[in-house]
Structure 1
Amino acid sequence: MSQSIRNGLSTVPELDDVQFTRWQGLLEERTGMYMPIQRRSFLQTSLGLRMLELGLRDYSEYFQQVTQGPSGAIEWSTLVDRLTVQETRFFRDPDALSFVEEFIRGITSSLIEHDESLEIWSVGCASGEEPYTLAMIAEQMLGSLGMSYSVTGTDISTIVLRKARSGRYPLRALERIPIKFHSWAVQPLSSQQLEVSSKIRKRCCFSQVNVLNLKNSPLQSQHIIFCQNVLIYFRRWRRREILDALAQRLAPGGLLVLGLGEMVDWKHPLLEPVHSGQVTAFVRKQSTSSGESTRR
């Protein structure tokens, strides 16, 4: 942060208890995300930076601006981008990804038999490294068989989705990608930037989705739903609502992967937990001809 920005922030008033509660409530009402008191300084800095850009010095004035009229909706979208951007990277969770690889291997013959395309959903995909990682794994396993697959990445932030669609990242990201993918999944653009190959990019699509409104999402019958480092931003009751909605969007026999320890006491009648070391995952039960569920 530059000295001029620091000086500007020093003119922004403290976010007192009343204002913090007001902004905390608005964020949770509109996005479902809960901002604990421990993150007050983060909220103050984020609001302060945006207020400086707009020439504002009063939290109430800015609150009014983001809650009124069409221009308020646009400004709210800009602010949400600032508050929700996550740090991510390629191949972030090797244990979970190895489990996904084994899962794909286990259902490949069924996909071939039923002439199905493998459908994967990355929830809270941020700037796209996770869905591209999943696509690399799927391509490695299914590409030589001529099988179809697609990966959908969703996030609430339009800014990170724009970056995800570009498929361009700092060259240092190459360090996170296993060498076996270097020759065909990514390519250097310059001494400072790489690009995900067109072979992988064409298998991925990105869409803005608020997890509070999953009932309006067209995504259904997913073979794999990858939802890591998303639930930590929500209250426990809200996490259950999100997971219940995701469970309904799994295909029979489909896999739901969560972040380790994100939801340890959740159960769903359609799903069975998978016990596999450092991976938190569930498989949707297969449906019998009578419509009942049975163990996969």
Structure 2
Amino acid sequence: MSISERSGETEQSFTQDSNPTVGLMSLPPELQIAVFQSLDSLEDIACLSGTCKQLHGVLNAHIPLICETVAARTLPCYNEMRAVVAEQGLLATDHPITEMSLIAHFASMSHNMDKLITYYHTFWVNNSHNDPRISQQLSPTEQTRFIKAHYQLWAMMLVSQDQRAQKISELDLEQSILLSDFLCIFSPEIINDAAVQKLVRQVPRFGRVLQRAIRGHRNRQFALQLGVEYHPISWTPYQPPYRFAWWCDKQQDLLHRMLSGALFEQGGSAHHPIEIIDDLEDAQEW
């Protein structure tokens, strides 16, 4: 083989190695679709389709099949996200993704949820009244619960008052407790939805109104299921002055030890130091 032939072979090999789409374009359409479906994010789909006209055409011809597969696998709480998108009037929940513009919108919503999780972790760093039973760093399971609750709250803010009341009435006890807690750290700024931000501007105390509606349903569900009235204090672990179950347990334990005399015992006082928690701060609202 001549030097020129070897040089040409090397150049061809280099070109194929440096441009992986060359081999991808030689695949049959069904395998090209499978490659798209194996990607890790909607952003990756957009990037790959932008490498050449042929792959862009493959994506345009099969947007629902490709995007629905990747979105359902990679976007946390995809069904709840779709419910929000439906309330935004962009895509009904029973319709597949058919437009590339929705890919960017879905990716933006997912990024905002990541920002909310960061906001949550930052919140606990600055919180001086930590409840040891509340995770300061969310586990993967807790992150799923957190994101799902925020999408549910987001969707509630996009509907009419009657529809909102209907959604609240359909919550079970656990859901109403979670939504009540997470509403306290819901951030319209991070959500970055123009409709939600407009609602908050027009009704500055909307968060408090929604909170009362959810808590009222929570209390009714509690009484219905357990047969006893539920009269919790207003605040949650996420609201100043951070009075919650742990705080109440501490005070009850202190009272019990005072009444039983254990508070004044040598061993008791050594093992159970008195903890006084300030509960006189004003609650903050958004």
TM-score normalised by structure 1 residue count: 0.29
Q: Which has the higher contact order (CA 8 A, sep 6+)?
A: 1
Q: Which has the larger radius of gyration?
A: 2
- Please report the TM-score for the alignment, with normalisation by the length of structure 2: 0.30
The structure richer in strand per residue is 1
- The structure that is helix-richer by fraction is 2
